């Protein structure tokens, strides 16, 4: 029984292959002008094309056989190499990938991921990233509010609107405090 690969290649490359399977002698002669259709050379040409096509089909069949043999050798070599890697490292992972996973997750996995465990790990990582993004957005909103408050206070000063500070401090001290807050917020965006 031919292998799956041989069947696939044969179905794709050889069907319909012989010239007679898709063009009869009558259809072939109809291609020529009427004055040449009865010429015996047309029939000879059809036979020659049929012979060349048959030789090409045989060459493709031989190539398919060679390719199937080559792929078996490649599969065996891959399996042998995979066994060596599995024996040398922790169940199919290389040490660099295992170390990176341990560093990134914060806790080392004792076993490599499977299809079942990788999905939950990806979900956990996505949730962690979403939480971090939310926290960063809230932090940037707080920093923006502080900057807007300080700019508003300085704007009042520029336009000469001197409101009595809520703290009861001297206006100069309040301005200095606002400038220091603005400087702190601008210098350290993390808050």
Query: In terms of domains, do 131 and 50 share one?
Result: no
DSSP 34: G
Rounded distance, CA 97 to CA 87, Å? Answer: 16
Q: Is residue 82 situated within a structural domain? A: yes
Query: In terms of domains, do 77 and 143 share one?
Result: no
Rounded distance, CA 34 to CA 163, Å? Answer: 107
For residue 86, the model assigns a pLDDT of 65
Query: In terms of domains, do 86 and 139 share one?
Result: no
For residue 13, the model assigns a pLDDT of 81
Tokens of 174: 């309040």
Query: In terms of domains, do 90 and 122 share one?
Result: no
Q: Is residue 105 situated within a structural domain? A: no
Rounded distance, CA 144 to CA 174, Å? Answer: 20
Q: Is residue 108 situated within a structural domain? A: no
pTM: 0.38
Q: How many domains, the chain?
A: 2
For residue 78, the model assigns a pLDDT of 86
For residue 98, the model assigns a pLDDT of 65
Query: In terms of domains, do 9 and 60 share one?
Result: yes
> What residues in the chain have per-residue pLDDT under 70?
1-2, 17, 86-95, 98-99, 101-113, 156-169, 171, 189-191
Query: In terms of domains, do 125 and 77 share one?
Result: no
Range of the domain at 123: 115-162
For residue 142, the model assigns a pLDDT of 92
Query: In terms of domains, do 89 and 122 share one?
Result: no
Helix orientation angle between 40-88 and 4-14, rounded to the nearest 10 degrees: 150
Q: Is residue 29 situated within a structural domain? A: yes
Q: Is residue 180 situated within a structural domain? A: no
Q: Is residue 16 situated within a structural domain? A: yes
Query: In terms of domains, do 9 and 89 share one?
Result: yes
């Amino acid at each position: 029984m031919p292998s799956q690969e041989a069947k696939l290649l044969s179905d794709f490359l050889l069907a319909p292959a012989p010239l007679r399977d898709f063009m009869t002698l009558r259809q072939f002669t109809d291609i020529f002008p009427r004055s040449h259709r009865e010429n015996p050379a047309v029939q000879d040409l059809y036979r020659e094309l049929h012979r060349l096509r048959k030789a090409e089909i045989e060459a493709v069949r031989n190539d398919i056989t060679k390719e199937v043999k080559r792929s078996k050798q490649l599969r065996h070599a891959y399996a042998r190499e995979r066994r060596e890697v599995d024996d040398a490292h922790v169940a199919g992972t290389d040490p660099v990938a295992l170390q990176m996973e341990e560093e990134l997750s914060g806790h080392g996995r004792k076993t490599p991921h499977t299809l079942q465990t990788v999905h939950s790990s990806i979900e956990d990582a996505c949730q962690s990233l979403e939480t971090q993004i939310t926290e960063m957005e809230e932090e940037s909103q707080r920093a923006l509010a502080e900057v807007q408050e300080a700019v508003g206070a300085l704007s009042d000063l520029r336009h000469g609107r001197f409101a009595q500070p809520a703290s009861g401090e001297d206006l100069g001290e309040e301005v200095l405090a606002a400038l220091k807050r603005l400087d702190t917020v601008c210098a350290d965006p993390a808050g």
